[in-house]
Amino acid sequence: MTAQAHSPNLPGHMWALVALYAIASLIHFGHNAEYIASYPNMPTWLTREKIYDAWLGITGVGLIGAVLGSVGWRATAALFFATYGAFGLDGLGHYSLALCTEHTMAMNFSIWFEAVSGVTLMTAAGWFAWRQAVGAPLRHTS
């Protein structure tokens, strides 16, 4: 096994992906909350405050992962990060309410930025968690 596999911390790229998704999530939820009236066919019960509350709940999953990762619970932290990233797919639900063409460029950008960065985080964190669970090294050394 490599020294990286025994390190108590998560690899730097994992933290970078978490940060990227956190930014994307904030951009999407912030845009959604501030321009809720402009998003096509949004339910009337959905308010600015409820959108921010949902964002706080989702971000809490990422924060739990960060705490677990910082104390060395690598595989569990990665599972929390994978779940955190998976929430990014929820934004694609906008397209069940209205076509892409009915959304503005900013709406589409925020939706896709969150979805793509979320899937990237989910995939990388899931792979990392699996590698930790089977005890495999993260990379081969000669």
pLDDT in tens, 54-71: 999 999 999 999 999 999
Cα separation of 67 and 18, whole Å?
13
User: Rg of the chain's alpha carbons, rounded to an integer?
Assistant: 17
Q: 15: Cβ–Cβ under 8 A, 6 or more apart, which residues? A: 69
Average pLDDT, the chain: 90
Per the structure, how many domains does the chain have?
1
Q: Do the domain assignments include residue 12? A: yes
Q: Do the domain assignments include residue 3? A: no
pLDDT in tens, 4-15: 444 457 888 999
What's the pLDDT at 135?
78
Print the domain residue range for 91.
8-134
pTM of the model: 0.87
Q: Do the domain assignments include residue 33? A: yes
Q: Please spell the DSSP secondary structure of 116-129, one letter per residue.
A: HHHHHHHHHHHHHH
pLDDT in tens, 67-102: 999 998 999 999 999 999 999 999 999 999 999 999
Q: Do the domain assignments include residue 23? A: yes
Q: Do the domain assignments include residue 141? A: no
Q: Do the domain assignments include residue 95? A: yes
Six token digits for residue 73: 């619970």
Q: Do the domain assignments include residue 2? A: no
